[in-house]
């Protein structure tokens, strides 16, 4: 099958493209390079430069490449930015998806894997978050992902589309040094940036109701996440009635303090202790996935632990920054 991967030149998208190619699938990449990089797209993969907001470009892409399905990763994803620029996030994430779905319907493309997020859950007060946990997002980014799920569900019902909405938890690591996350927005690269600049990494809040007082999160290796996308495309390729909403996590919680200490250990940069600051507004104490449903539905299970994530992220950090 041939899959259009939107955002296929970005951090997660690049890993998904390589995983699909390794699985024997054909791939076309669409990316506007707002965060992606041309050199990350393999030479043999057709590349369309532009935005999912460009309906004419999407129509031409579907005509020219005989696409069977879409893996929709392109989106804006920074929570603080979404609070400051909510209309921008609704335009990019919600209107962008609407335009993409309209183009899919017009081209009779009936399969979509959607990058959703654990941000749809907001601040759940449960030990393990399963897919039936109420969705109460607390920022425009999470809202945009939940609206996206609703839009896909309604379009699927009206137009016979099969879909898998994958709710990512905290993504880290790299499949190869050259594919490492170039942004400094998530915990691992943020800590690496501080340590390599001889500055203390920051921990926000140490008075939560958790074993060590810091927030607990579920971290997932980007390679495992990419393989989850492959499993989803395989399911959609054989099941035209698939209507799936699935967590992608390990089902294991790691505290922020534990993750910071692991990064200090792996890097050998242990001289600078972390700096403790007050809690940030809106940070839930614990968000850990129940990953049972994705195993049942797709036969997928995470293979990599947090040490794998940190070691591969550190190798990528050094390769990119000398």
- Which residues are marked as active site? 141
Residue/partner pairs of 150-153 with CB below 8 Å, 24 or more apart: 151/94, 151/97, 151/98, 151/101, 152/97, 152/101, 152/112, 152/114, 153/243
The answer to whether residues 141 and 82 touch, using CB atoms and an 8 Å cutoff, is: yes
Q: Which helix (H) or strand (E) holds 247?
A: strand 243-248
DSSP 216-227: EE-EEEHHHHHH
DSSP label of 92:
I
| Coil/strand/helix, residue 112 | strand
| 3 state SS for 31-89 | ECCCCCCHHHCCCCCCEEECCCCCHHHHHHHHHHHCCCEEEECCCCCCHHHHHHCHHHH
How far is it, in rounded angstroms, from Cα 4 to Cα 16? 11
């Amino acid at each position: 099958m041939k899959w259009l991967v939107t955002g296929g030149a970005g951090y997660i998208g690049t890993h998904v493209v390589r995983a699909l190619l390794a699985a024997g699938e054909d791939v076309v990449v669409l990316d506007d390079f707002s965060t992606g990089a041309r050199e990350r797209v393999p030479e043999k993969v057709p590349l369309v430069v532009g935005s999912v907001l460009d309906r004419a470009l999407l129509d031409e892409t579907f005509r020219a490449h005989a696409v069977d399905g879409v893996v929709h990763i392109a989106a804006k994803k920074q929570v603080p930015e979404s609070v400051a620029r909510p209309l921008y996030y609704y335009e990019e994430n919600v209107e962008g998806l609407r335009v993409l779905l309209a183009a899919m319907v017009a081209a009779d493309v009936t399969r979509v894997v959607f990058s959703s997020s654990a941000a749809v859950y907001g601040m759940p007060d449960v030990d393990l978050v399963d897919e039936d946990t109420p969705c109460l997002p607390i920022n425009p980014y999470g809202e945009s992902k939940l609206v996206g799920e609703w839009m896909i569900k309604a379009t699927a019902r009206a137009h016979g589309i099969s879909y898998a909405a994958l709710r990512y938890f905290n993504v880290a690591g790299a499949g190869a040094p050259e594919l490492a996350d170039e942004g400094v927005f998530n915990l691992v690269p943020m800590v690496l940036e501080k340590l390599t600049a001889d500055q203390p990494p920051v921990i926000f809040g140490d008075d939560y109701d958790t074993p060590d007082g810091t927030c607990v999160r579920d971290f997932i290796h980007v390679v495992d996440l990419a393989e989850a996308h492959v499993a989803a495309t395989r399911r959609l390729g054989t099941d035209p009635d698939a209507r799936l909403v699935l967590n992608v996590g390990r089902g294991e919680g790691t505290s922020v303090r534990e993750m910071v200490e692991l990064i200090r250990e792996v890097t050998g940069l242990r001289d600078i202790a972390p700096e403790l600051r007050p809690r940030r507004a809106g940070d839930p104490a614990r968000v850990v996935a129940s990953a049972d449903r994705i195993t049942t539905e797709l036969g997928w299970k995470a293979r990599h632990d947090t040490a794998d994530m940190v070691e591969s992220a550190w190798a990528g950090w050094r390769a990119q920054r000398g």
